[in-house]
Structure 1
Amino acid sequence: MIKISYDIELYRKQLNEILREDDVVVELGCHVGNTTEIIAKTVTKGKIIALDNSPEAISQMVKLTKKYSHLEFISGDVRLHDILAKVSKKINKCDVLSVDLGGGYHPDTTFKVYFIWASVLKPKHTLIRNRGLIDFVRTSQTEEIIESKEGWLESCGNEGIPPQIKEFELWSSSLKKITKK
């Protein structure tokens, strides 16, 4: 199941509806941890890996990791292969992938990051917070029916990044190594 929202309260409500106490959650774009703390209070017997690239996230997230032993913070750019590889080595499943990269900005980057991480981690559920993606989905039309029932795009199988996306040529071979664990 993949849900897209923009309103932060709706996003957090949707998270609360799907989170279970023993889930493994990967949160991309945790910023200073307001949503992370909500996740940590629910996922008490699982594991949470929260990531953000902003300098202001560091001190707040370090405080949260001291408060919640099942929370790990990684300061890094989620667009980088090394960060994805680091996370994928730490977990053997992903129940929930939470993506909040800039809220309403950069839907292209948000979708690319989602696609790459979900292709590797194969989450049961994904929540994406991005206004541009909602706008795109709501104004699109197609007669084709392609559906995924998981939190990743099942129609893509285990292909990783399609080779025709030239900007990801460096990712392609690296991702294939990760997905063949």
Structure 2
Amino acid sequence: MIKIVYDIKVYREVLRDIIQADDVVVELGCHVGNSTRIISKLSPEGRIISLDNSPEAVSAMASVMDKNRNVEFIKADVRLHETLEVVAKKIKEIGKCDVLSVDLGGGYHPDTTFKVFFIWSSTLKPRDTIIRNRGLLDFVHSSSSDEVIKSREGWLESSGNDGIPPRLKEFKLWSSKIN
């Protein structure tokens, strides 16, 4: 399932609905850890890998990790391929990614949010994904099509198992490692 929301209360309600006690959650855009604390309590037997690049996140997330042993914080830019490589290696060792949580500024940059979602979900193949972004939600509710293309997992399995389609040359701007 892929769920797009904007309101932070709705976002946290969806987290409560989908996260199970032993889930592995990758949280992109944890900021100061308010949602991370909720995720940690929802998955006490699981593991949470939270990422953010903001300076405010460092000390706040250190406090979250002190109180929640199942949380690991990585200060990094989730747009960088190198960051994805680090997390993908951790997920490979764990053996699964159950939930991908994407909250990159809420209302800002829907194009960046979608690109990050697409690349990370294609790599990690989560069971469920939740994205908090006003622009994407507005787009979804404002668009229409007679075509039915639907993915039922937390990633776009309808795109195939190829990861990043080679025709999307723009992704090369993000990383020289994408061929």
Q: TM-score, normalised by structure 2?
A: 0.94
CA distance in 2, matches of 1:173, 1:151: 27
SS at match of 1:93: coil
CA distance in 2, matches of 1:32, 1:169: 31
CA distance in 2, matches of 1:153, 1:76: 24
Conserved 8 A contact 1:28-1:50: yes
What is the aligned partner in structure 2 of residue 44 from structure 1?
A: 44
What is the aligned partner in structure 2 of residue 35 from structure 1?
A: 35
CA distance in 2, matches of 1:41, 1:145: 37
Runs of 4+ residues over 2 Å off in structure 1: 169-176
CA separation of 1:175 and 1:27: change in aligned 2, threshold 3 A: farther
Q: Does residue 124 of structure 1 match 2:146? A: no
| Deviation for aligned residue 1:109 | 0.2
Count of aligned pairs between the two proteins: 176
What is the aligned partner in structure 1 of residue 113 from structure 2?
A: 110
| Deviation for aligned residue 1:171 | 6.3
RMSD: 1.5
Once the two structures are superposed, what CA deviation does each residue of 1:108-147 show, in whole Å capped at 9, x if it has no partner?
0000000000000000000000000011001111110001
What is the aligned partner in structure 1 of residue 89 from structure 2?
A: 89
84-93 or 46-55, which deviates more: 84-93
| Deviation for aligned residue 1:167 | 2.1
| Deviation for aligned residue 1:8 | 0.1
Task: Please list every run of 5 or more consecutive structure 1 residues that lacks an aligned counterpart in the other structure.
Answer: 177-181
| Deviation for aligned residue 1:166 | 2.0
CA separation of 1:12 and 1:108: change in aligned 2, threshold 3 A: same
Task: Please list every run of 5 or more consecutive structure 2 residues that lacks an aligned counterpart in the other structure.
Answer: none
| Deviation for aligned residue 1:93 | 1.0
| Deviation for aligned residue 1:151 | 0.3
| Deviation for aligned residue 1:155 | 1.0
CA distance in 2, matches of 1:86, 1:7: 30
**Aligned residues with identical type, % of pairs:** 65
What is the aligned partner in structure 2 of residue 179 from structure 1?
A: none
CA separation of 1:145 and 1:16: change in aligned 2, threshold 3 A: same
CA distance in 2, matches of 1:86, 1:171: 16
What is the aligned partner in structure 2 of residue 137 from structure 1?
A: 140
SS at match of 2:105: coil
